[in-house]
C-alpha cells in the first residue's frame, strides 16, 4: 500500500483542541526561577535578538490612569513572540506607590499566556516576580554588554531600593559580578538602611554605604542603577556624571534630558522608549529629533555600534511585553515538564457551538 504524506491543507483541516488552563502561583514562579538567573539572562538576550529580527509583535503599552489617584496606574502590555518560544499574551501590571506606606509592595501583576494555534489562554500566572526577574535580567545583560570595552565597574550605586533593586543585585551577583563598594540612596532612610541590611546578609564582600544625598551616590559610583517610582526628572546636574559612569536607567524618568543629550544612549526599543514622558521622550521633544539615540541593546550584542568611553553610557529599557512572555513560558514549560501545573479542567465550560 502506498503511503501518502499529510498535505498542508489536510493538516490545517485537522480539528483543534482547547488547551488545558492552569493557574501558576507566585510561589511556583519563584521555585522555578530561583537559582536559574543565568538561564533567564540568556533567555532575555535571545528574546531581544528575536524581537530585533522582527519575529514579534509588541504594540504600545496602554496606561490606565485615575483622576482621583494620580500617582497610581495599571498598565496593559500585550505581545506576541516567535522564535523557539511561540506564545501570545498580555501582562496586566499595577503600580500603586501608596501601598508602600502600608507595608505591601507597590506593584502587582498577572500574566496571561495564549495558545498561538487556537487563541485560547492556557495559563494565568502571578506576574510581579516574572516582571522583576525579566527586568533584572535585562539590566544584568545590559551591564555585561555595555561594560565589555571599559571593564566591569567595581563601584555600584543603587538609587531607589525596592524590589527591583534587590532583584537586579541578585542577578548581577548570579552572573559573576562583584564589587568593592556598594552605595545606597533612597528618599526613605528606613528603606536605605533596610537595603543595606539585605546586602550585608547576602554575603557581599563589598563595603556598603548609605549616602545622604544623590550627588554623593552618583559621583562615587561607576555603575548606577536607577530603580525609583519617579514620574518626572529629578536629577539635573550633568557634572555629577563627569566620571562617565555606566547608568542603568531602569525607572526611565529620573534623568533630565540634558544628561541624556550628553551621554551615549542605548534603549531596548526605540519606539517604545520615546513615549509616555520618559526622559528619552523629553529629550526628543527638546531637540526635535532622535539623533541622541545611539541604538538598541540588540545592536550592541550584534556589534553594530561603538560605545565611546569619553561620556556616560545610559541604558533605558522601557520593558517589553515579549520579555514577560518569554520568562512566563519558560516557567510554564518547567512546571509542565515536572507535572506541577495546577490545571482547572472546567475553566472553559461552553465548548460546543450549538450546545
Residue 106, pLDDT score:
84
pLDDT, residue 355, reads: 67
* Region 142-316: CATH code: 3.40.50.720
* Residue appearing with cell numbers 541622541: 292
The C-alpha cell at 198 is 539585605
So what's the pLDDT on residue 350? Answer: 78
The yes-or-no verdict on residue 8 having pLDDT over 70 is no
Residue 114 pLDDT > 60, yes or no? yes
Q: Note the pTM of the prediction, 2 decimals.
A: 0.91
Cell of 180: 568593592
Domain 21-130+321-344 classified CATH 3.30.1780.10? yes
Q: Are 40 and 133 in contact (CB under 8 A)?
A: yes
Terminal-to-terminal C-alpha distance of the chain: 41
* Residue 56 scores a pLDDT above 60: yes
Q: What is the pLDDT of residue 100?
A: 82
Average pLDDT score over the chain = 93
- Name the segment(s) of the chain with CATH classification 3.30.1780.10: 21-130+321-344
The grid coordinates listed for 9 are 491543507
Which residues touch 332 (CB under 8 Å, ≥6 apart)? 22, 24, 113, 122, 123, 125, 341
Query: Which residues belong to CATH 3.40.50.720 in the chain?
Result: 142-316
Q: Which residue has the higher pLDDT, 316 or 71?
A: 316
What is the structure's pLDDT at 10? 47
Residue 6 has pLDDT above 50, yes or no: no
Band of the pLDDT at 282, cuts 50, 70, 90? very high
Residue 3 is predicted with a pLDDT of: 41
**Mode of pairing for the β-strands spanning 155-159 and 181-185:** parallel
Amino acid at each position: 500500500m502506498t503511503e501518502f504524506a499529510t498535505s498542508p491543507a489536510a493538516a490545517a483541516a485537522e480539528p483543534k483542541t482547547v488547551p488545558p488552563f492552569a493557574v501558576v502561583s507566585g510561589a511556583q514562579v519563584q521555585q522555578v526561577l530561583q537559582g536559574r538567573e543565568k538561564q533567564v539572562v540568556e533567555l532575555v538576550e535571545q528574546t531581544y535578538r528575536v524581537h530585533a529580527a522582527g519575529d514579534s509583535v509588541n504594540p504600545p503599552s496602554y496606561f490606565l490612569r485615575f483622576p482621583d489617584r494620580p500617582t497610581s496606574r495599571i498598565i496593559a502590555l500585550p505581545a506576541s513572540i516567535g522564535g523557539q518560544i511561540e506564545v501570545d499574551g498580555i501582562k496586566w501590571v499595577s503600580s500603586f506607590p501608596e501601598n508602600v506606606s502600608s507595608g505591601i509592595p507597590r506593584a502587582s501583576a498577572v500574566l496571561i499566556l495564549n495558545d498561538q494555534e487556537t487563541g485560547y489562554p492556557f495559563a494565568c500566572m502571578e506576574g510581579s516576580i516574572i516582571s522583576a526577574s525579566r527586568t533584572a535580567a535585562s539590566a544584568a545583560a545590559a551591564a555585561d554588554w555595555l561594560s565589555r570595552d571599559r571593564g566591569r565597574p567595581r563601584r555600584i550605586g543603587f538609587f531607589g531600593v525596592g524590589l527591583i533593586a534587590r532583584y537586579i543585585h541578585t542577578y548581577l551577583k548570579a552572573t559573576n559580578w562583584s564589587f568593592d563598594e556598594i552605595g545606597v540612596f533612597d528618599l526613605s532612610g528606613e528603606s536605605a538602611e533596610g537595603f543595606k541590611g539585605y546586602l550585608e546578609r547576602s554575603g557581599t564582600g563589598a563595603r556598603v554605604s548609605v549616602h545622604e544625598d544623590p550627588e554623593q551616590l552618583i559621583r562615587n559610583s561607576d555603575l548606577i542603577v536607577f530603580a525609583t517610582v519617579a514620574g518626572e526628572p529629578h536629577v539635573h546636574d550633568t557634572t555629577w556624571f563627569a566620571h562617565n559612569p555606566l547608568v542603568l536607567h531602569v525607572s526611565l524618568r529620573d534623568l533630565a534630558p540634558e544628561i541624556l543629550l550628553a551621554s551615549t544612549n542605548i534603549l531596548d526599543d526605540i519606539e517604545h522608549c520615546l513615549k509616555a514622558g520618559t526622559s528619552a521622550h523629553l529629550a526628543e521633544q527638546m531637540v526635535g529629533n532622535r539623533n541622541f539615540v545611539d541604538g538598541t541593546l540588540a545592536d550592541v550584542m550584534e556589534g553594530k555600534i561603538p560605545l565611546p568611553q569619553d561620556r556616560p553610557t545610559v541604558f533605558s529599557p522601557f520593558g517589553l511585553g515579549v520579555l514577560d512572555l518569554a520568562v512566563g513560558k519558560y516557567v510554564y514549560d518547567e512546571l509542565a515538564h515536572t507535572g506541577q501545573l495546577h490545571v482547572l479542567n472546567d475553566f472553559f465550560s461552553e465548548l460546543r457551538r450549538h450546545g
